[in-house]
Amino acid sequence: MNEPYKYVLPESELPKAWYNINADMPVPPAPVLHPATREPVTPDFLSVLFPMSLIMQEMSPERWVEIPEPVREIYKLWRPTPLFRARRLEKALDTPARIYYKYEGVSPVGSHKPNTAVAQAFFNKQEGTKALTTETGAGQWGSALAMACSFFDLDLEVYMVKISYEQKPYRRVLMQTYGAQVFASPTDRTHYGRRLLEEEPDNPGSLGIAISEAVEAAATSGGRKKYSLGSVLNHVLMHQTVIGLEALQQLEAAGDYPDLVVGCVGGGSNFAGLAYPFVHRNLTQGATTRIVAVEPASCPSLTRGSYAFDYGDTAGTAPIVKMYTLGHTFVPPGIHAGGLRYHGMAPSVSALVEHGTIEARAVPQLATFEAATTFARAEGIVPAPESAHAIRVVIDEALRCKESGERRVIAFNLSGHGHFDMAAYDAFQRGALEDYAYPAEAIEAAMTQLPAVAF
């Protein structure tokens, strides 16, 4: 028996270019609109927030975009990441399905997020940016960007959702260890934050509020600071495609090609990172892989939201994009998969769901922790609660294969480990976790706040 458990690539096989789905989109892109005029934005407007190289990537029609050598050098600290064959999970489920997972938890901060953080820090440094501003919910994105900024000698201001700042001190310490400044949002550092604190001194914050503060801090800095976003935008999803490009090579080494590719979705970046290179083969080479995006039932933008133009942030100062949204004023229940609590979804993922290229599923919180526990006991890795949403669907599909006897090949993205999420596992084990009801009324109320646009 010489059946491998994992497929590893040498550093020399690290991809040299990112894959840009803009080149293959089956539908034309919707315009990005200015939040005040509601007319299509110009690169000039975006350049207040982003360096020109990233704006060009955002709009680029080129299928392949070269990964700069300094970025590849840093990627090599943990990339290529391993592709595992989940043999022990297959056995535990007694399924004929073959299950593979790409493990992004081997990065220094434990998730896929440095794949774009390092690239964004590099392009900002190259264009003379002195400092970055960003938001973070549970702290995964903030810690990835903090590491990247320390590598490129950039200052970083992190606006961290206040409730997480108070409940997750270790993520804050991690960011500070890399040299970042971390503030509990809403803060008194911005107009918007001060206004909210006047109305409600105990405001617990939300991701949308923290984005508004980070955007304001960059926009009012006279060009010294730029803003950085960890998901949703085209260039972010593109940077993550190293995941899927490596997986293609690794699956080839395993002699398999997936019938099904699964990822969890918050803003869509880890999902797109694994899935888009397979979507590319579906769209251009006649492959027929089913591609499934999994979201929490309590923040169901793809399965219960509207495909509409909406603001990227709560204050309505970020650009308006066409996406599946629950309304920019919607504040989702406090589920433990903090990375999946965004009101919208990446425009390209949204367009592909609308077009029928990608399927969407929603799963409840308790069932995801049950799946996470099954996975940990079989494979040893304790998954991030976000990633466990993908695992829930993979296990369900593998059990379906058991019933039908089909030997399907399933690949999913294990976007991170759960070592910083022990409080959530503790709550699950104590029986203190709940399934939140679908927040129909809150969503309905938020949907009345969508901007009226002429497009």
DSSP 332-368: ----S-GGG--SS--HHHHHHHHHTSSEEEEE-HHHH
Q: Out of 207, 265, 292, 362, which residue is the one contacting ligand PLP (CB under 6 A)?
A: 265
Cis peptide before 439 (omega within 30 of 0): no
CB-nearer residue toward ligand PLP: 115 or 190: 115
Segment contacting ligand PLP by CB under 6 A, of 33-41, 49-57, 183-191, 266-274: 266-274
Residues 3-62 that bind ligand PLP (CB under 6 A): none
The closest residue (CB) to ligand PLP is: 416
387 near ligand PLP, rule: CB under 6 A: yes
Task: Kindly report the three-state secondary structure assignment for every residue of 412-447.
Answer: EEECEECCCCHHHHHHHHCCCCCCCCCCHHHHHHHH
Shortest Å, Cβ 22 to ligand PLP: 18
Segment contacting ligand PLP by CB under 6 A, of 49-57, 86-94, 191-199, 379-387: 379-387
Structure tokens at 363: 């799963």
Segment contacting ligand PLP by CB under 6 A, of 248-256, 263-271, 297-305, 355-363: 263-271
Residues 88-147 that bind ligand PLP (CB under 6 A): 111, 113, 140-141
Residues 409-448 that bind ligand PLP (CB under 6 A): 415-416
Residues in the chain: 455
Q: How far apart are CA 110 and CA 418, in angstroms?
A: 8
For residue 263, the SS3 value is strand
Strands 64-66 and 17-19 turn out to be antiparallel
Closest C-alpha among 203, 142, 171, 208 to residue 341: 208
Closest C-alpha among 118, 96, 443, 109 to residue 303: 443
Closest C-alpha among 234, 217, 235 to residue 226: 217
Walk across the sheet containing 131-136 and list its strands: 181-185, 155-161, 131-136, 225-227
364 near ligand PLP, rule: CB under 6 A: no
CB-nearer residue toward ligand PLP: 270 or 298: 270
Q: Out of 15, 305, 327, 339, which residue is the one contacting ligand PLP (CB under 6 A)?
A: 339
CB-nearer residue toward ligand PLP: 61 or 334: 334
CB-nearer residue toward ligand PLP: 193 or 266: 266
234 near ligand PLP, rule: CB under 6 A: no
CB-nearer residue toward ligand PLP: 140 or 325: 140
Residue the block writes with tokens 């920019």: 328
Q: How many residues bind ligand PLP (CB under 6 A)?
A: 20
How far apart, in Å, do the first and last CA atoms of the chain sit?
60
Shortest Å, Cβ 273 to ligand PLP: 7
Shortest Å, Cβ 225 to ligand PLP: 23
Segment contacting ligand PLP by CB under 6 A, of 160-168, 200-208, 352-360, 383-391: 383-391
Q: Out of 135, 157, 246, 386, which residue is the one contacting ligand PLP (CB under 6 A)?
A: 386
Segment contacting ligand PLP by CB under 6 A, of 174-182, 190-198, 258-266, 275-283: 258-266
Residue 187 Cα distances to 77, 144, 181, 209, 338, angstroms: 35, 22, 13, 10, 20
Question: In the complex, which residues of this chain contact ligand PLP (CB under 6 A)?
Answer: 111, 113, 140-141, 231, 264-271, 339-340, 384, 386-387, 415-416
